[in-house]
Homo-oligomer: A and B are copies of this chain.
Amino acid sequence: MSADNIRMTIQDIADAVGVSKTTVSRYLNGRYNYMSEETRRRIERVIRETEFRPNKAAGSLKTARTDLIGLVIPDASSMMTPHLISSICDECTANRRKTIVVSTHNDEDKERRLVKELIAHQVDGIITATGRNLALYRQIDESGIPVVQTDYLQGNSPLDVVLVDHYKGCERAANYLIDHGFRRIVFLIRSSKDGYGTFAPREEAVRTVCAARSSEGVWFEKILVEDSAFGDPNRFRWGLQKINMQHREQPTAVFVGEGLLMGHVICAFSQMRLSFSSHFTISGYDDTRVAATCGAGHALVLNQPLIQMGTMATRILLGRIDQNMESKEKVRCLLDCTMTIPKSFE
What distance in Å separates the Cβ of A62 from its nearest Cβ neighbour in chain B? 11
Q: Is A192 an interface residue (CB 8 A)?
A: no
92-120 of chain A: CB within 8 A of chain B: 93, 96, 98-103, 105, 114, 116-120
Q: State the oligomeric state as a number of copies.
A: 2
| A296 CA to B76 CA, complexed, in Å | 26
What distance in Å separates the Cβ of A116 from its nearest Cβ neighbour in chain B? 6
| A18 CA to B76 CA, complexed, in Å | 43
CB atoms of B121 and A102 under 8 A apart? no
What distance in Å separates the Cβ of A217 from its nearest Cβ neighbour in chain B? 32
Chain B residue nearest to A51 (CB atoms) is B116
Q: Is A239 an interface residue (CB 8 A)?
A: no
Chain B residue nearest to A55 (CB atoms) is B122
| A267 CA to B294 CA, complexed, in Å | 5
CB atoms of A57 and B121 under 8 A apart? yes
Quick one: which of B57, B122, B288 contacts A61, CB cutoff 8 A?
B57
| A66 CA to B54 CA, complexed, in Å | 15
Chain A 269-303, CB-CB to B under 8 Å as 1, else 0, gives 01101000000000000001010011011000000
Name the B residues within 8 Å of A56 (CB-CB).
120-122
Chain A 42-55, CB-CB to B under 8 Å as 1, else 0, gives 00000000010111
Interface stretch (choices A3-11, A167-175, A181-189): A3-11
Query: Number of residues in A with C-beta < 8 Å to the partner?
Result: 66
CB atoms of A293 and B263 under 8 A apart? yes
Q: Is A90 an interface residue (CB 8 A)?
A: yes
| A60 CA to B56 CA, complexed, in Å | 11
What distance in Å separates the Cβ of A301 from its nearest Cβ neighbour in chain B? 14
Interface stretch (choices A80-88, A152-160, A219-227): A80-88
Name the B residues within 8 Å of A83 (CB-CB).
77
Name the B residues within 8 Å of A144 (CB-CB).
6-7
Name the B residues within 8 Å of A307 (CB-CB).
77
Name the B residues within 8 Å of A296 (CB-CB).
233, 267, 271
| A322 CA to B221 CA, complexed, in Å | 59
CB atoms of B271 and A271 under 8 A apart? no
Quick one: which of B76, B98, B102 contacts A82, CB cutoff 8 A?
B76
What distance in Å separates the Cβ of A124 from its nearest Cβ neighbour in chain B? 11
| Contact of A53 with B294 at beta-carbon distance under 8 Å, contacts A100-B68, A100-B99, A102-B98 already known | no
Q: Is A78 an interface residue (CB 8 A)?
A: yes
CB atoms of B103 and A293 under 8 A apart? no
| A97 CA to B58 CA, complexed, in Å | 19
Q: Is A264 an interface residue (CB 8 A)?
A: yes
What distance in Å separates the Cβ of A53 from its nearest Cβ neighbour in chain B? 4
Q: Is A143 an interface residue (CB 8 A)?
A: yes
* Interchain residue pairs with CB less than 8 A apart (13): A4-B139, A6-B119, A6-B140, A7-B143, A61-B61, A76-B85, A77-B83, A77-B86, A86-B103, A93-B103, A98-B117, A263-B294, A267-B270
Query: Which A residues have a C-beta under 8 Å from some C-beta of B?
Result: 4-7, 51, 53-58, 60-61, 66-68, 75-79, 81-83, 85-87, 89-90, 93, 96, 98-103, 105, 114, 116-122, 139-140, 143-145, 233, 263-264, 266-267, 270-271, 273, 288, 290, 293-294, 296-297, 307
